Structure 1
Amino acid sequence: MSHIDNTPDTTPFFSDDNEIEAAGDSGTHPSQPQEEESPSGVSSRRAAWTVAVLCYINLLNYMDRFTVAGVLPDIENFFKISDSNSGLLQTVFICSYMILAPVFGYLGDRYNRKFIMCGGITFWSIVTLASSYIQRDYFWALLLTRGLVGVGEASYSTIAPTIIADLFVKEKRTTMLSVFYFAIPVGSGLGYIVGSKVDEAAGDWHWALRVTPALGLVAVLLLLFVVKEPKRGAVEERPEHTLHRTGWVADMTALCRNKSFVLSTFGFTAVAFVTGSLALWAPSFLFRAAVFIGEKQPCRKDPCDASDSLIFGIITCVTGILGVATGLMVSRYLRKKTPRADPLICASGLLLAAPFLYLSIVFAQISTVATYIFIFLGETFLSMNWAIVADILLYVVVPTRRSTAEAFQIVLSHLLGDAGSPYLIGVVSDSLKRSESYMWEFRSLQISLLLCSFVAVGGGAFFLATALFIERDRQRAENYVPSDDAPIIVPKRGRSTKVPVSSVLI
């Protein structure tokens, strides 16, 4: 007796790749040996190529996102905008990104994820290319296109981790997620590097925004011809047809009752707040600090000195690789000793990052070298969280709710994190300025950035709280049994009682 009929959930266009390929292969050459496939329906070789493609797209995603930050001094000089307006560039992007994330999360739990990502990346590439042709009097158009870029990226970020989750389990899943999340800091760093170098070579910051759209076309082709849609949950010995797909309200109710998921999401929100603030403002802050201590001249014409963006980009790449790898190794070691290892590592990363980020901001007026050293240490500890937080979500949430959970986490972490933090830092900076001098441009931004250290401490507290519930919630997800059978009426001592169908079937 089938528990669920999946037919209404799909259309021919949105049906799973493995269903289409299976239908095409049936009846043809039955005796021909085929490459061995896992329960997911994807061979181990193709699974590895799938992760490689998803890593490439994730790298491209973050590279595009932080190209704007790499040329921010040029954009400010070109449009003659204030710090608060500069912060809006990141805020409008994150807002559209988080608003659309639940939509793509809902679709990703029900339809073919590969085709959804292809459509989103195509849209994102077109809009990014269009944003590179905006002229001086149309800053509002740049804000609009940056917002539309978030729509395309939402289609990818909510779905890609769930594909990896359906290809691998346990330690191998953690390893593959770590590889996937290497692309975040590396892509972010490349955004600064490519943005600054293309700006310098072309003498026009607009050209920096024309690099990623061409690479986006390559990403779409790779998705279409390399990636194969895996069966949801099959690799965990819980085939999709045995797991009931519940409605969105039921999914959200279950997620809100999952304490490990909720608390780790709040902890990740603190990570998003800090990284969002630093990602946009760190190169500008370092440039203003160099002007303040007399190492550089103010930017009066394009292109501005972009060496700080280049150095910060290199630091971001190196610390990202080092931090994610360190988090993975420590997680593997501590998991043998305690089931609470993952949230404790995340808490330690944030609590260690906080003082180093504080020192990097304070020492900017004294020593550029010391500032870069403290930034290096702070970002290394901060990067320990990326892959581990994603793994926590995947093992405390059942497969049929993972895309929805990813979307919910994206919405909450961005809503309270990096959606508002760049704009908030800019507003605080503008409010603290007592004059339009170069000294106050540096001082006001310096004081506003100190907020990041205190937010990091709060995030560490949330991860410590997650450690109290992680073992129980993981066991619940692993032993999850659907219980949404339609009730029937069974007489009990003269009165009717509703019980699930499964409890009376023999």
Structure 2
Amino acid sequence: MIFAPLFGYLGDRYSRRLIMASGVLLWSLTTFLGSFMHTYGWFLTLRALVGIGEASYSTIAPTIISDLFVKDMRSKMLALFYFAIPVGSGLGYIVGSEMAHVTGSWQWGLRVTPIIGVIAVLLVIFVMHDPVRGNSEGSHLRPTTWGNDLSELCKNKSFMLSTAGFTCVSFVAGALAWWGPTFVYQGLRLQQGYEDVTLNDVTYKFGIITMVSGLVGVPLGSVLAQRLRTRFPRIDPLICAVGLLVSSPLLFGASLFASVNCNVCYALIFFGEVFLNLNWSIVADILLYVVIPTRRSTAEAFQILISHALGDAGSPYLVGVISETLKVVLSPSHSPHVTSSNGSFSLASNITSDPTSDPAVDFYSLQYSLFMTCFFEVIGGFFFLFTALYISRDKYQAEKAIAGMSSVKKLQTLCGIIILTCISK
């Protein structure tokens, strides 16, 4: 998060291929070395370095796609790129839990991905092509100062509002990724017939749901945008808004059914995440067509900084703090008559003197805390609705700036040819 602006600055001015290769290599090495650490301080340090490597990649990769493709083809390629986020997250749950189960050591979950990372580094160095910035749009713009870049981005209402909406998406995604499996597991413990269920079992299923919802949601958002964009120029932020506003009641319902019916809960989580995942590729597309090519890496970095700082960097902690506070409120001295949703479990008769040790208290405190994510989805939906008010204007201004500079270059080239012809004659 902190290093994203640095890589945004470098990505607009220097070799993106070398920056990406170095970042992925750092990412892979620190992940691998972290699995061998025996002290918390060194482990935490190496995990922090993983984030620096990730920042170098995530700020630059979308801009390379934007310089290779335009319009609908760009949208398709971005969908292909961004569906890897939820799919990779889902695979992380599955591979991590299975490797821990097979080897008997969680550290092996961190020793799988570095192998793939090294392959990625070799592909970036020897296979990937780093196009000229703005190449796909015929742009010949030159980079401006970093201060000017930030100033222009802050004036870009579509970019700022869509970043705010995407921050809400990150907030919800971060909270679900951290607390989702634990919450479902706690709900199952309150149901009869699930006494032998383990957190590892729930994590595995949650990973499959996350992965499949990404496979469905990310391309679905891109396809809807491509098909409706010609008829409705403002459809991109509207799809994002609808996705969040529909996802909110679905995830709210999932939290209610977690302690009643696990199958209904899993189904609602799946559909809630599908609608949440509609946003990923569309938000990236919005950024690329409302920002000129020479400041797109900076824009990506700015969006990453804001969405992480106010989104998934703090949401797991905030949900946990609220949950711990609610445990005290739900203790017998405060709430002696609270029962489970099926009426079969009484807090008053089953709570021990330590509320944190009671399954019902753990579940309900986390449930009430996770309700906050539904609220943030609604707020994010309204941010995207406001984005729709400015999207056409900002897109036109970016296209005008690109086309204007291209015309100047063509005129300069033509004048040069005429002058050289006159001299040669």
Give secondary structure in 2 for the equivalent of 1:351: helix
C-alpha deviation, 1:126, in angstroms:
1.4
Aligned to 1:474: 395
C-alpha deviation, 1:296, in angstroms:
4.1
Matched, 1:421 2:354: no
- With 322-331 and 261-270 compared, the bigger mean Cα shift is at 322-331
Matched, 1:455 2:376: yes
Matched, 1:446 2:367: yes
Per-residue CA deviation, residues 262-283 of structure 1 (Å, 9 max, x unaligned), is 0000000000000010011111
Matched, 1:115 2:12: no
Distance 1:294 1:438 in 2: 13
Aligned to 2:183: 285
Give secondary structure in 1 for the equivalent of 2:144: coil
Distance 2:106 2:196 in 1: 18
Q: What letter corresponds to residue 269 of structure 2 in structure 1?
A: I
Residues 357, 378 of structure 1: 8 Å contact kept? yes
Distance 1:382 1:156 in 2: 23
Alignment equivalent of 1:395, drawn from 274, 277, 289:
289
Residues 347, 460 of structure 1: 8 Å contact kept? yes
Per-residue CA deviation, residues 228-283 of structure 1 (Å, 9 max, x unaligned), is 111111220113xxx13110110000000000000000000000000010011111
Residues 166, 232 of structure 1: 8 Å contact kept? yes
Aligned to 1:161: 62
Unmatched 5+ stretches in structure 1: 1-97, 485-506
Give secondary structure in 1 for the equivalent of 2:401: coil
**Closer, same or farther in 2 for the Cα pair 1:365/1:235, shift >3 Å?**
same
Give secondary structure in 2 for the equivalent of 1:453: helix
Residues 181, 199 of structure 2: 8 Å contact kept? no
Q: Compute the TM-score of the two structures, normalised by the length of structure 2.
A: 0.86
Give secondary structure in 2 for the equivalent of 1:198: helix
Matched, 1:213 2:104: no
C-alpha deviation, 1:408, in angstroms:
0.3
Give secondary structure in 2 for the equivalent of 1:356: helix
C-alpha deviation, 1:395, in angstroms:
0.1
Distance 1:296 1:145 in 2: 38
Give secondary structure in 1 for the equivalent of 2:29: helix
Aligned to 1:267: 165
Distance 1:438 1:142 in 2: 31
Aligned to 2:130: 229
C-alpha deviation, 1:358, in angstroms:
0.5
Unmatched 5+ stretches in structure 2: 329-354, 406-425
Aligned to 2:327: 433
Aligned to 1:378: 272
C-alpha deviation, 1:297, in angstroms:
4.6
Residues 91, 207 of structure 2: 8 Å contact kept? yes
C-alpha deviation, 1:215, in angstroms:
1.3
Correspondence 1:30-109 to 2 at 5 A = 98-109=1-12
C-alpha deviation, 1:325, in angstroms:
2.0
**Closer, same or farther in 2 for the Cα pair 1:164/1:310, shift >3 Å?**
same
Residues 137, 402 of structure 2: 8 Å contact kept? no
Give secondary structure in 1 for the equivalent of 2:270: helix
Give secondary structure in 2 for the equivalent of 1:469: helix
Give secondary structure in 2 for the equivalent of 1:229: coil
Distance 1:481 1:125 in 2: 37
Alignment equivalent of 1:181, drawn from 63, 82, 85:
82
Aligned to 2:214: 320
Residues 244, 482 of structure 1: 8 Å contact kept? no
Q: What letter corresponds to residue 236 of structure 1 in structure 2?
A: E
Alignment equivalent of 2:263, drawn from 359, 369, 386:
369
Aligned to 2:174: 276
Distance 1:260 1:121 in 2: 31
Residues 75, 226 of structure 2: 8 Å contact kept? no
Residues 120, 151 of structure 1: 8 Å contact kept? yes
Distance 2:116 2:95 in 1: 13
Give secondary structure in 2 for the equivalent of 1:166: helix
C-alpha deviation, 1:439, in angstroms:
2.1
Aligned to 1:252: 150
Give secondary structure in 2 for the equivalent of 1:310: helix
Residues 186, 316 of structure 1: 8 Å contact kept? yes
Distance 1:195 1:144 in 2: 21
Q: What letter corresponds to residue 466 of structure 1 in structure 2?
A: T
C-alpha deviation, 1:440, in angstroms:
1.8
Q: What letter corresponds to residue 207 of structure 1 in structure 2?
A: W
Comparing both structures, which one devotes a greater share of its residues to helix? 2
Distance 1:228 1:332 in 2: 26
Give secondary structure in 2 for the equivalent of 1:315: helix
C-alpha deviation, 1:206, in angstroms:
1.3
**Closer, same or farther in 2 for the Cα pair 1:416/1:295, shift >3 Å?**
farther
Distance 1:399 1:164 in 2: 11
Distance 2:15 2:192 in 1: 56
**Closer, same or farther in 2 for the Cα pair 1:255/1:127, shift >3 Å?**
same
Per-residue CA deviation, residues 301-323 of structure 1 (Å, 9 max, x unaligned), is xxx64111111111111111111
Distance 1:116 1:339 in 2: 35
Q: Compute the TM-score of the two structures, normalised by the length of structure 1.
A: 0.73
Distance 1:278 1:419 in 2: 12
- Percent identity among equivalent residues? 53
Distance 1:429 1:381 in 2: 26
Q: What letter corresponds to residue 171 of structure 1 in structure 2?
A: D
Distance 2:91 2:230 in 1: 36
Distance 1:390 1:481 in 2: 19
Give secondary structure in 2 for the equivalent of 1:318: helix
Distance 1:253 1:460 in 2: 26
Aligned to 1:356: 250
Give secondary structure in 1 for the equivalent of 2:389: coil
C-alpha deviation, 1:141, in angstroms:
3.7
Matched, 1:127 2:30: yes
C-alpha deviation, 1:129, in angstroms:
1.2
Alignment equivalent of 1:412, drawn from 306, 312, 315:
306
Distance 2:182 2:37 in 1: 22
**Closer, same or farther in 2 for the Cα pair 1:295/1:104, shift >3 Å?**
farther
C-alpha deviation, 1:481, in angstroms:
6.0
Distance 1:322 1:110 in 2: 36
Q: What letter corresponds to residue 112 of structure 1 in structure 2?
A: S
